Amino acid sequence: MSPLEGITVVSLEQAVAAPYATRQLADLGARVIKVERPGGGDFARDYDREVMGQSAYFVWCNRGKESVVLDLRNAADRALFDRLLDAADVFVQNLAPGAADRLGLGADALRERWPRLIVCGISGYGERGPYRDRKAFDLLVQCETGLVAATGTQEAPARAGISIADIAAAMYAYTGVLTALYERERTGHGSAFDVAMLDALGEWMGQPLFHGMYGAGPLPRSGARHPSIAPYGPYRAGDGREVFLCVQSDRDWVQLCARVLGRPDLTRDPRFADNPLRRAHDAELTQVLHAAFADLTADELLARLDAAGIANARLRDVSEFAEHPQLVARDRWRAFDTPAGPLRGLLPPVTVRGREARMGAVPALGAHTEAIRAEFGQR
């Protein structure tokens, strides 16, 4: 039996934040009924056509759901939607600012009618304040939280390469739903909560935020290097390939000097005596490392780092990650269905012994509309 077997989630969702949250619930066995608008449904269906003619965003975020097309301004469809909520344990929405209230689906109205219902609203900037009604796409929230300013090189800032503001909000919404379900088991009452993308990503910005508020100012943009720790990042081997290594402690530094660089004398160099000094003299330190690595291929350097117990990694692109030997060795890939045919995807990260997450099909637009009408139409 899956952990959320018997739990029904109704979601008015689009794009990434809410769909990714409810996909986690579907993976745990919840029944997720995705209500889509007529004339195209979730607009993430049209973001791209890269996955056998389907959107990579959509297949990622919508596994294991039922799709029903309803026009909530139509009286009959709205009555059917209300019957869905009669049977629901959880309602999730990430509509445009104010849209849920205009549809009579604000948290207070829902909780008054369905006191056991758990209501989750995901917004860009929260339910109050001067930014309440602003559109909040992932890049814009990355900008507003300081992430873009903290990412990139000294010459130019950069967005994170994934929809990290959406993902942060999704994961807090997901854990919020689980917490609310646990609370309802003890109290018998539902609850309502909100997650703002600004708050979710702002929480993840905690270290640079505290550094900027109480330290010497914002951390410098450092590309793939760490802004606070050295040596930490990419270094060039003799064959021109880059190897990433991370020295987290003075003990690691001693091991790196003695067993990888062959320069134990560097531990006594006053420029490199501790991490703040190493970071302050990072350019000089990089020259020392490149000189020591000049006679080693990347493979030889990685082997030497492994032997010394120094954390390291190869730089892989996503295609190489898809064939990662660690994923293969741990049997992390599974097939799941889509309207265009089966795909392979990674199992969810939480591995429960003796149980495997459900990886249901990605629904075609409105694939379950008639079945939902038949099931709930006469209630």
- Known catalytic residues are 226
How far apart CA 92 and CA 102 sit, in angstroms, is 16
Q: What percent of the chain is helix, strand and coil (3-state, nearest 5)?
A: 45, 15, 40
Q: Of 21, 46, 25, 374, nearest to 181 (Cα)?
A: 25
Residue 23, burial from CB neighbour count under 10 angstroms (0-12, 13-18, 19+): buried
What are the distances in angstroms from CA 125 to CA 151, 164, 263? 21, 15, 52
Q: Quick one: tokens of 22?
A: 């409810």
Q: Where do the DSSP E strands lie in the chain?
A: 8-12, 31-36, 65-69, 90-93, 118-123, 192-196, 232-236, 242-246, 311-314, 333-336, 343-346
Neighbours of 285 (CB within 10 A): 21
DSSP 256: I
Long-range contacts of range 47-55, CB-CB < 8 Å, 24 or more positions apart?
A: 51/338, 51/340, 51/343, 52/338, 52/340, 52/341, 52/343, 53/340, 54/338, 54/339, 54/340, 54/362
* Angle (nearest 5°) at CA 184 between 33 and 86: 40
Task: List, edge to edge, every strand of the sheet that includes 65-69.
Answer: 65-69, 31-36, 8-12, 90-93, 118-123, 192-196
